[in-house]
Amino acid sequence: MSENGVLVRGATLQKHFGGIMAVDAVEFAVTEGDLIGLIGPNGSGKTTLINLLTGHLIPDAGEVYLRGRRVNGLPAHGFAAQGIARTFQLTQLFGRMTVLENMLVPGLTRPHSTWGAVTKRARTYLEFLNLAHLETLNAKNLSGGQHKLLELGRALMLEPAVLFLDEPFAGVHPHLRDELIKRIHELHRSGRTFVVVDHDMESILRIAQRLVVMARGRKIADGPPALVRADQTVLAAYSGL
Amino acid sequence: MRGLPVYVLLAATVTLLAYAHLLNSYWMHVAIIAMFYGILASSWSLLAGYAGLFSLGHMAFASLGGYASALLVQWYGIPIPFGMAAGVALCCAIGGLIGWVCLRMSGPYLAIFTLAFSEIVRITFSTEDQVTAGMAGLHTEPLFHSVSRLPYFFTAFGLLAFSLAVMGAIVHSRWGLFFRAVREDEQAAAASGVRVAQFRILAFAIASGFAGLAGGFYAHYIGILTPSLGSLDLMAVVVVMTIIGGMERIPTAVGGAFGVEILQELLRAYGQWRLVIFGIILLLTMRFARNGLLTPLWIQFVRLGEVRSVPPPPRDVGQEGSRI
């Protein structure tokens, strides 16, 4: 590790789609042990930033560093191999594969992994996420909330250094949202690093230790939640001023 | 698959091989062609059913494998098995190349691209008649100088068994899991660490190699090769066989190949109408049994002899929250 525990860093990242600047000169660093809330109104560039930092998009300008090493152009599977895991805004599971098979895929991409060891680990995580009794079901047959949990489990199977969760609470029953927050807290306490993306300020404030706010493709605030909440620029962005 | 179904399959296979000599020449030919299609349908199932790559160029690879083997044997006098192996290697290489070229294509784009490739191959073989004899047909060296078709029957059986063993091992390995993950969602597969590009290329290379193997055997069995081996008509036959049987399982695809080939012969009296019948069966399959007609039967067969455990007591699933 280098740069004082910085695991992932985006330097002056820029990405545009047609005439729209989705991410504009954004500086973003994730340090080991962080639990970052990344918020912003719809269309503020949160998901694009995550896509840039996980290899799903290549920046038009700027650099991406993993543990201090420049990795621009590294494909998404390369990021996963380096311990960068993510979930998607709209859950993307392997629908016609069983819950257990969904968990096995990332586990078996790890070097020197064996079916026995990976299956055992998958079942441990399924127990942790209360999905163990569903392991033989096809993923498409789960409820929306269970989809979110399974996607989290699949990301955990990479034994990641950083987990980027893109809108994990979207469309989820409030009771399930509480359970998800509980699991994220437990995982964070066990040493995981998280970046949780959402536009629901209330949920994010319940977990984030650091808050980053984006609006119109730019980072407009970064700091402790209490300070960011009181920031006039943030209030203006959220009220559409 | 283990236990009783394995024994049943083994017993059926041994019986078939032991009594194969009782088949008359006509039905033995039908069985040999069914096994040829079995290799093609199972490898297309690997490509389209497992990896989700709906290619229409599969018969072009059979054609390439056939011509490569026939011409190498004719030009250099090499033994036929070496010619067939060279055809397989060529098909693997070109298949991998096609897989690489159309990495970013899927669905109808991939189908049209591979269809275009298939037509290029067919028209090239047709036009270069000084080399391939064009539509007049290329006379090939027979695999056996025997009046009986029995040696061909055993060879076709051996090649089919070998193909199924290799493809079965692949689909039950982590490669098979990754193929299915790529089929389901390429972005999620990449986020899970799967080298999507590598596995797409691999699926094309493997499936094309088996198509080349089938084509090589066909060339040295039939004795004359025409560019129509790579035609869209025959590609449609392979697609129909695989879909009617069940494209997401290799044994059901083979079952589809046997079923359709045998039905084609039984319905021969109906002339072109039998093709209409197959069309209707295909439509009904797509509408009412998208996993294929043989898939439910195969699932029941694999479960034969399974010891049923006592189901666990039902969980309280009254609320979504209680299910997490």
Contact check, Cβ <8 Å, B195/A77: yes
Look up the domain containing A114 and give its range.
33-57+78-238
**Average pLDDT of span B288-311:** 81
> For chain A, what is the radius of gyration of the CA atoms?
18
pLDDT at B174 over 70: yes
pLDDT at B293 over 50: yes
pLDDT of residue B308: 56
pLDDT of residue A16: 92
Going by C-alpha positions, the residue among A191, A216, A221, A218 that lies closest to residue A204 is: A221
Tell me the residue length of chain A: 241
Q: How sure is the predictor about B74, in pLDDT bands with cuts at 50, 70 and 90? A: very high
CA–CA dist B92, B202 (Å, integer): 9
pLDDT of residue A182: 87
By Cβ distance, the residue of A56, A77, A145 closest to B193 is A77
Complete edge-to-edge strand list for the sheet that includes strand A61-66 = A20-31, A6-17, A61-66, A69-70
Our count of domains for chain A comes to 1
**Average pLDDT of span A193-210:** 86
pLDDT at B319 over 60: no
**Average pLDDT of span A34-52:** 92
- Residue A17 in any domain: the answer is no
Are B142 and B160 a contacting pair, CB within 8 Å? no
Are A28 and A53 a contacting pair, CB within 8 Å? yes
Higher pLDDT among residues B322 and B303, named by residue: B303
Residue B104 DSSP code:
T
Distances (CA, A) of B262 to A11, B31, B247: 65, 8, 19
Amino acid at B252: T
Q: How sure is the predictor about B67, in pLDDT bands with cuts at 50, 70 and 90? A: very high
Our count of domains for chain B comes to 1
pLDDT at B5 over 90: no
CATH code (residue A40): 3.40.50.300
- Residue A63 in any domain: the answer is no
Are B59 and B234 a contacting pair, CB within 8 Å? yes
SS3 label, residue B56: coil
Q: What is the pLDDT of residues A202-235, one digit of tens each?
A: 788 888 999 999 988 999 988 898 888 888 887 7
Whether residue A75 lies within 8 A of chain B, CB to CB, comes out as: yes
- Please report, in angstroms and rounded to a whole number, the separation of the first and last CA atoms in chain B: 32
pLDDT at B323 over 60: no
Q: What is the pLDDT of residues B103-157, one digit of tens each?
A: 888 888 999 999 999 999 999 999 998 889 989 999 999 999 888 899 999 999 9
Contact check, Cβ <8 Å, A77/B324: no
By Cβ distance, the residue of B191, B320, B323 closest to A80 is B191
Q: What is the pLDDT of residues B223-261, one digit of tens each?
A: 999 999 999 999 999 999 999 999 999 999 999 999 999
- Residue B120 in any domain: the answer is yes
Are A9 and A159 a contacting pair, CB within 8 Å? no
Q: What is the pLDDT of residues A122-169, one digit of tens each?
A: 999 999 998 999 999 999 999 888 999 999 999 999 999 999 999 988
A2 beta partners: A6
Q: Residues of chain A with pLDDT > 90: what percent?
A: 64
Are A167 and A9 a contacting pair, CB within 8 Å? no
Q: How sure is the predictor about B315, in pLDDT bands with cuts at 50, 70 and 90? A: very low
- Residue A26 in any domain: the answer is no
Residues of A in contact with B171 (CB under 8 A): none
pLDDT of residue B316: 41
Mean pLDDT of chain B: 90
Query: Which of the listed ranges A34-38, A125-129, A145-149, B42-46 does the model predict with the highest average pLDDT?
Result: B42-46
Going by C-alpha positions, the residue among A88, A110, A97 that lies closest to residue A163 is: A88
Q: What angle do CA B266, B267, B269 make, to 5 degrees?
A: 110
Are A87 and A148 a contacting pair, CB within 8 Å? yes
For the range B68-72, what are the long-range contacts, defined as Cβ-Cβ under 8 Å and sequence gap of 24 or more?
B68/B212, B68/B216, B69/B215, B69/B216, B69/B219, B69/B220, B70/B138, B70/B140, B70/B141, B70/B219, B70/B220, B70/B225, B71/B131, B71/B132, B71/B138
Look up the domain containing B199 and give its range.
13-231
Whether residue A95 lies within 8 A of chain B, CB to CB, comes out as: yes
Exposure of B88 in the CB half-sphere (CA atoms within 13 A): 18
**In this structure, what is the dihedral angle of CA atoms B97, B103, B107, B109, given to the nearest 10 degrees?**
-70
- Residue B99 in any domain: the answer is yes
pLDDT of residue A125: 94
pLDDT of residue A40: 87
What ipTM was estimated for this complex?
Answer: 0.91
Q: How sure is the predictor about A236, in pLDDT bands with cuts at 50, 70 and 90? A: confident
pLDDT of residue B317: 36
- Residue B117 in any domain: the answer is yes
Residue B269 DSSP code:
G
3-state helix/strand/coil string of chain A = CECCCEEEEEEEEEEEECCEEEEEEEEEEEECCCEEEEECCCCCCHHHHHHHHCCCCCCCEEEEEECCEECCCCCHHHHHHCCEEECCCCCCCCCCCEHHHHHHHHHHHCCCCCHHHHHHHHHHHHHHCCCHHHCCCEHHHCCHHHHHHHHHHHHHCCCCCEEEEECCCCCCCHHHHHHHHHHHHHHHHCCCEEEEEECCHHHHHHHCCEEEEEECCEEEEEECHHHHHHCHHHHHHHCCC
**Average pLDDT of span B250-278:** 91
Can you give the pTM of this predicted structure? Answer: 0.89
pLDDT of residue B241: 95
pLDDT of residue A41: 85
Q: What is the pLDDT of residues A45-57, one digit of tens each?
A: 999 999 999 999 9
- Residue B156 in any domain: the answer is yes
pLDDT of residue B314: 44
Contact check, Cβ <8 Å, B180/A96: yes
Whether residue A127 lies within 8 A of chain B, CB to CB, comes out as: no
Chain B interface residues facing chain A, Cβ-Cβ under 8 Å? 174, 177-178, 180-181, 184-185, 187-197, 312, 315, 319-321, 323-324
Contact check, Cβ <8 Å, B190/A176: no
pLDDT at A65 over 80: yes
pLDDT of residue B39: 97
Q: How sure is the predictor about B307, in pLDDT bands with cuts at 50, 70 and 90? A: low
